[in-house]
Amino acid sequence: MISVVRYDVLGIGNAIVDVIARTEEDFLLKHGMYKGAMALIDAPRAEAIYEAMGPAIETSGGSAANTIVGVAGLGVRAAFIGKVKDDELGRTFAHDIRAAGVAYMTPPAANGAPTARCYILVTPDGERTMNTYLGAAQDLHPNDIDADMIAASAITYLEGYLWDPKNAKEAFLKAAKIAHEAGRKVALTLSDAFCVDRWRPEFLHLMRSGTIDLIFANEAEVHSLYETADFDTAIAALRTDVAAAVVTRSEQGCLVLGADGSEAVPAFPVERVVDTTGAGDLFAAGFLAGLARGADDRACGRLGALAAAEVIQHLGARPETSLQDLARENGLME
């Protein structure tokens, strides 16, 4: 029996609170950080970074969570599954995502590690370097997957970062199986080139086995996935491995690969890049919102580019302007 669609897009990912501060490149070098990358850290390293970094702002984050908030901001029915602890940051995360209009019902953990946090250092060029303490987020378990919610979601969107913990990996596979049995689609964001380095064979298997229907990646991630510096070579391989894919190329826009060929979509111009945190997340939000509304590849890509352009012009990974209003002003929504 096919379930009625209650949610257009459901995301599964790390439930994280971002701690964001501006910094200089010397700080990154001093503390052994790779500019533009995401590193997983333990509790002592998290404390050391927090003590050393400058004045910071706290805001709810997490890659897939940011995407799902963007989806909801575009008027599309959205839901999220991710684990927090029943602590102050966990309650902040739950409040923020529900206030954004997202269905969020994952029970918080009563014990164990605290709610996850990501220390984000933003250099003057707007590039972000992330240090993530996963805490409670890595305790997402297959039991946290609500089968009814998955079956009632047109698209299930998975966050590559969450492929690291074993239980979360099993939760992903369970969700993908339920989605496909219900006749739904499954999308995956590769998240980070270093994440791809860690899990390249497994990500390729997910694609080649048909577990994933749609891939989101940037250029660095695609190069890492196929271990080639040549973009065209990587794209040719990607075409054979997955039914559909979207590759973002920063100011060059994106390339959408589908059954009908490829579509190059330009980026939206921006006055000034302030912080690239969330650019890929919000691009995916716009694209998925367009897909949920039945838009063609170009319109989906334009909506993604618009959402990404909004988020990189201010500090933080969630929109500060109504995405629906922006989409209407640019003729992308009625």
pTM score: 0.91
Q: Is 32 part of a structural domain of the chain?
A: no
Asked if 203 contacts 196 with a C-beta cutoff of 8 angstroms, the reply is yes
- First vs last C-alpha separation in the chain: 34
Closest to 171 in 3D by CA, of 149, 140, 205, 195: 140
The range of the structural domain enclosing residue 66 comes to 7-14+62-112+135-329
Rounded Cα–Cα distance for residues 120 and 317 (Å):
10
pLDDT value, residue 162: 87
What residues contact residue 309 under an 8 Å CB cut-off, 6+ apart? 267, 268, 269, 270
User: For 200-210, what is each residue's pLDDT tens digit?
Assistant: 999 999 999 99
Specify if 51 maps to a domain.
no
Alpha carbon distance 226, 246 (integer Å): 15
CATH number of the domain within which 157 lies:
3.40.1190.20
Q: What is residue 2's predicted lDDT score, i.e. its pLDDT?
A: 58
Residue 166 lies in a domain: yes
Q: Is residue 1 part of a domain?
A: no
* Residue-level pLDDT at 1: 47
Neighbouring residues of 321: CB distance < 8 A, sequence distance ≥ 6: 310
Q: What CA–CA distance (Å, rounded) separates 156 from 150?
A: 7
Whether 82 is in a domain gets the answer yes
SS (H, E, C) the chain: CCCCCCEEEEEECCCEEEEEEECCHHHHHHCCCCCCCEEECCHHHHHHHHHHCCCCEEEEECHHHHHHHHHHHCCCCEEEECCCECCHHHHHHHHHHHHCCCEECCCCECCCCCCEEEEEEECCCCCEEEEEECHHHHHCCHHHCCHHHHHCEEEEEEEHHHHCCHHHHHHHHHHHHHHHHCCCEEEEECCCHHHHHHHHHHHHHHHHCCCCCEEEEEHHHHHHHHCCCCHHHHHHHHHHHCCEEEEECHHHCEEEEECCEEEEECCCCCCCCCCCCCHHHHHHHHHHHHHHCCCCHHHHHHHHHHHHHHHCCCCCCCCCCCHHHHHHHCCCCC
78 belongs to a structural domain: yes
Question: What is the total count of domains within the chain?
Answer: 1
Query: Is residue 30, in this structure, part of any structural domain at all?
Result: no
334 in any annotated domain: no
Which pLDDT score is estimated for 276?
85
User: What stretches in the chain show pLDDT beneath 50?
Assistant: 1
Q: Sign of torsion, CA 211 190 95 288?
A: negative
